[in-house]
Amino acid sequence: MGLRINDTAPDFTAETTQGTIDFHDWIGDGWAVMFSHPKDFTPVCTTELGAMAGYAKEFEKRGVKIIGISVDPVESHQKWKDDIKVATGHAVDYPLIADKDLKVAKLYDMLPASAGDSSEGRTPADNQTVRSVFVVGPDKKIKLTLSYPMTTGRNFAEILRAIDSIQLTARHQVATPADWKQGEDVIITAAVSNEDAKKRFGSFDTILPYLRKTKQPSA
């Protein structure tokens, strides 16, 4: 059975382009996004890692570390970073995990059990389940998971949007509606009575008995 939201993110030790890390220690007291890709030197993955590098400062503003992972060795990751810079204009300064023995991919259920125990001879198609995203909170719990098919590059702006929602709703008893963006109205959760809602949020609009909207609370 795969990992679910609010499961503890499995800890691991791995080699990266920035040395050996222990995942939970590397996260520290902040947030983290671990995102995997099928294989180095492939077209969609090249655009993805460049896009993530372009958003790096936005993640940093939110106290979120980013780390990539594939089954390729560190040497491959290091060489590939030059191509990513040429193709996208963004330098990959975040670490990339080298999961040659597939340990992390299997620990996070990103590959089937029959995938073998080595990255040797694997093609992108062999790794097609490895285009996943895990958002991990300071409590080391999984807050969000996403998996994309081989032919569809991820929307990292959406991952930022989701993190904005997750962090906001962790601080206040609110939820965010469909297509919500930072600064827009939020939903008051059912756990908050109308009386408490007035005390907490001031005014609010009752759309339906179970759907109340108010201005986004300040941090």
SS3 (DSSP) at 148: coil
Angle, CA 13 vertex, CA 2 and CA 68 arms, to 5°: 65
User: What was the pLDDT predicted at 150?
Assistant: 81
User: What was the pLDDT predicted at 118?
Assistant: 57
User: What was the pLDDT predicted at 2?
Assistant: 78
- Rounded Cα distance, 2 and 125, in Å: 21
User: What was the pLDDT predicted at 94?
Assistant: 98
* Domains detected in the chain: 13-154 (3.40.30.10), 172-214 (3.30.1020.10)
* The pair of three-digit structure tokens given for residue 111, joined into one six-digit string: 């590959």
Return the closest-CA partner of residue 186 out of 167, 204, 209: 204
Q: Beta strand 174-175 with 142-147: parallel, antiparallel or unpaired?
A: unpaired
Q: Across the 219 residues of the chain, what is the mean pLDDT of every consecutive 10-residue run?
A: 90 98 98 95 96 98 97 96 98 96 90 59 59 95 92 94 97 96 96 95 95 91
Read off the pTM: 0.91
- Rounded Cα distance, 29 and 214, in Å: 30
User: What was the pLDDT predicted at 175?
Assistant: 98
Q: Are 101 and 117 in contact (CB under 8 A)?
A: yes
User: What was the pLDDT predicted at 117?
Assistant: 60
Using the Cα atoms of residue 22, residue 12, residue 56 and residue 68 in order, give the sign of their dihedral: positive
User: What was the pLDDT predicted at 203?
Assistant: 93
Catalytic residues: 45
User: What was the pLDDT predicted at 45?
Assistant: 95
Return the closest-CA partner of residue 67 out of 59, 106, 111, 75: 59
User: What was the pLDDT predicted at 191?
Assistant: 94
- Rounded Cα distance, 83 and 91, in Å: 10
User: What was the pLDDT predicted at 122?
Assistant: 58
- Rounded Cα distance, 26 and 1, in Å: 26
| Per-residue exposure over 8-20, b if at least 16 CB sit within 10 Å of its own CB, e if not | ebbeeebbbbeee
Return the closest-CA partner of residue 165 out of 178, 155, 153, 147: 178
